[in-house]
Chain A
Amino acid sequence: DTAVSQTPKYLVTQMGNDKSIKCEQNLGHDTMYWYKQDSKKFLKIMFSYNNKELIINETVPNRFSPKSPDKAHLNLHINSLELGDSAVYFCASSQVTGKSFSGNTIYFGEGSWLTVV
């Protein structure tokens, strides 16, 4: 079973469209994340949710809106897509509450490769 799964894995869309990427984790973790990897392979956090509550919101355009219906799901909706949004988007999760080293490890999904044309 895949621990952190994202759909779709590949997405090609036109500028101006709205798209969503879905993420689910079956690890029982209480915290989920979205990271963006740009064309130069640089990885940076976008959002983090802990028990459905937004706890990290880096300087991301308002066109990006995360939604967490429950602690096992974190979806990313992007409005009015731009060429610069082309990237690989990674969902990830970790267990924050409770003091264990394994809880400090963040586990990643396989990534969703978004291409805006």
Chain B
Amino acid sequence: AQTVTQSQPEMSVQEAETVTLSCTYDTSESDYYLFWYKQPPSRQMILVIRQEAYKQQNATENRFSVNFQKAAKSFSLKISDSQLGDAAMYFCAYRSGGAQKLVFGQGTRLTINP
């Protein structure tokens, strides 16, 4: 079974600085997708960024980018120019190409210091 590990329960960063959240996963499959979801205090799950495993190019969405290291099974999220609104729980998630469910990591709580 696939597993997703987020080794940082909590992280903090000064406003306007850059922070990187770590995620590793374990799978024997070659076809899969990876996601980062943000969960603010409102509890809503918001998609931040997604990556197809077969693509070597790292995904970017404005201030959010990933460092996808397929051989190392690592999928970290970099947030540049951190803003107060970025404060939230961040979940890394894995989805097999042949399955219809997400496997989530334990989450990382990100605090932004003004």
Contacts and interface: CB of A to CB of B under 8 A. Distances in A.
A113 B43 contact: yes
Contacts of A94: 100
What range describes how many residues of B lie at the interface? Answer: 20 to 34
Given A43-B91, A43-B104, A44-B104, A107 B47 contact: yes
Contact of A108 (B44, B52, B95, B107): B44
A56 B101 contact: yes
**Main secondary structure on chain A at its contact with chain B?**
strand
Interface string B42-63: 1111110010100000000000
Interface residues of A, number: 29
A41 B100 contact: no
Contacts of A110: 42-44
Contacts of B91: 43
Pairs A-B, 10 closest by C-beta atoms: A108-B45, A43-B104, A45-B101, A111-B43, A110-B44, A104-B33, A41-B107, A48-B100, A56-B101, A106-B102
Interface of B: 33, 35, 37, 39, 42-47, 50, 52, 89, 91, 95, 97, 100-102, 104, 106-107
Interface of A: 31, 33, 35, 37, 40-45, 48, 50, 55-56, 88, 90, 92, 94, 96, 101, 104-111, 113
